[in-house]
Amino acid sequence: MPNRRQIIKKLKETLDPERFEHSLRVEKIALALGKRYRVNQNKISLAALLHDCARRYGRKELLKKARQMGLLIDAVKRSEPKLFHGEIGARLARKKFGVKAPDILNAIRHHTTGAPGMSKLEKIIYLADHIEEERNFRGVHKLRSLAFKDLDQAVFEAASSMLRFLLSKKLPIHPETLRTRNYYL
């Protein structure tokens, strides 16, 4: 597995400072959740640190990379290319950072929209991204508490919260977010 120190160095060089600090905060809460649910701390650290490694690219670059990689470009992702950063990030984690473990790559891939039937590691990274200490939205404190009590219920609440946010902003909703919410319902 890749060395944490080397990953931190590369991320610091490629991500903007705010995104880099966000990744460290996601790692912090993810490690706490991993301890609670007895998930391998090394895997959690790698997945958390690398979950946003593709956010170094802007919208146009993400769309271009998606085309180059042959990713499915649906109408929602075309209108919001940031939704590609999980899939592209998983590929970057493998190619640029040497991550080979499928469970870590899946956690990176699914951290934005979630997915039905996620592993504990995937759920932890999905939730950690939603509840890291700088997140400040209505219900975040309740969601943080729930994440330490019931992962599945917390995933349901996080997906539901995301849907409410997207609806309130009149933004497109990716079908995978709906599938995630319905699966954990």
Residue 27 counted as domain residue: yes
Residue 106 belongs to what domain range? 4-136
46-77 burial, b at 16+ Cβ within 10 Å, e below that, comes to: bbbbbbbbbbbbeeeebbebbeeeebeeeebb
Amino acid code (one letter) for 15 = L
Q: 58: domain CATH number?
A: 1.10.3210.10
What pLDDT score does 149 carry? Answer: 98
Amino acid code (one letter) for 67 = R
Across the 185 residues of the chain, what is the mean pLDDT of every consecutive 10-residue run?
90 97 98 98 98 97 97 95 97 96 98 98 98 96 98 98 96 96 98
Amino acid code (one letter) for 127 = L
pTM of the predicted structure, to 2 decimals: 0.96
Residue 143 counted as domain residue: no
Residue 145 counted as domain residue: no
Residue 156 counted as domain residue: no
Residue 108 counted as domain residue: yes
What pLDDT score does 30 carry? Answer: 98
Residue 42 counted as domain residue: yes
What domain count does the chain have? 1
